[in-house]
Amino acid sequence: MLFLIFGLTFIHVLPSTVSAECLDTESCEPIRSCRPIIEKLKRVRQTQDSEKRDKIITEVQSKICGPHKDKLICCPTEQDLQQQQQQQQQPEQEAVFVGEFINIFHDIEGQVYKLSDTQLLIKNFNYDGEGPDAFFLAGASGTKPKSRTTDEDIVLPYPYTGRHYEYLDNDIPILGGFNRDKDIVLTLPPGITTNQLRWLSVWCRDYKVNFGHATFNN
């Protein structure tokens, strides 16, 4: 309950002009009833990293919608959440192994599979969640990311809510911690297929550091 009070508090102190336009896969509803947002607020309370906490808060604040006094948030619809769950439960035989993560920092582990032309699956993913600005980044050339050319690489946001991002967007979702207990499904942006990708990285944009990557065998 404390994280709900915290969440309602930081919404209450925002300027009254703040109001997001929800995506087609979202609905504007009370923050108390939005499970994905509640999970984000739990992460705010759990982390000791002030930069990470501020980024999560900013991300949640960007989803505030409707009249300010009503404390509403753009929340993924049940249909979208069910679709994501179904995607994560695709039959095992449809997945084709393409590479395994090599850890550099923060205990990165996991096996990467091609799930379809538009989706990757990461099984047994592990990451301690301590990076201040970490997300999945993929590339169509080379074997791993290069700090000087990342603007041309492909952001694969997780969780995916129907929106794709450019590398310099300041509201890319930040990865939390994972403990090999959840499979991750990544959705590619239009015009890119999994056959074009050559690597996948857990990338920290703030420090331009590759925490770990998988080089694909295709």
Question: In this structure, are 10 and 98 located in the same domain?
Answer: no
Residue 86: name the closest of 181, 192, 183, 162 by CA: 183
Q: Is the pLDDT of residue 16 over 70?
A: no
Q: 59 and 114 share a domain?
A: no
Give the rounded distance of the alpha carbon of 206 from its chain centre.
Answer: 16
Mark whether 100 and 200 lie in a shared domain: yes
Q: How far is Cα 55 from Cα 43, in angstroms, rounded to an integer?
A: 11
Bigger pLDDT: 125 vs 89: 125
The reply to whether 55 and 128 lie within a common domain is: no
Would 142 be classed as within a structural domain?
A: yes
Which whole number is the average pLDDT over 100-106?
96
Domain, as residue range, for 60: 2-77
Is residue 208 one of the residues assigned to a domain? yes
Q: What percent of the chain has pLDDT over 90?
A: 50
Q: Tell me what the mean pLDDT of segment 77-87 comes to.
A: 59
Segment 130-154 shows an average pLDDT of: 88
Query: How far apart (Å, rounded) are the C-alpha atoms in residues 26 and 74?
Result: 6
Domain count across the chain: 2
Write down which residue in 27, 42, 77 finishes a domain. Answer: 77
Asked if residue 96 has pLDDT above 80, the reply is: yes
- Whether residue 102 is contained in a domain is answered as yes
Pair (125, 205) in one structural domain = yes
pTM across the whole model: 0.61
In a domain, 82, yes or no: no
Same domain, 58 and 116: no
What are the two backbone dihedrals, phi and then psi, of residue 137, each rounded to the nearest 5 degrees?
-130, 135
Residues 116 and 188 in one domain: yes
113 and 46 together in one domain: no
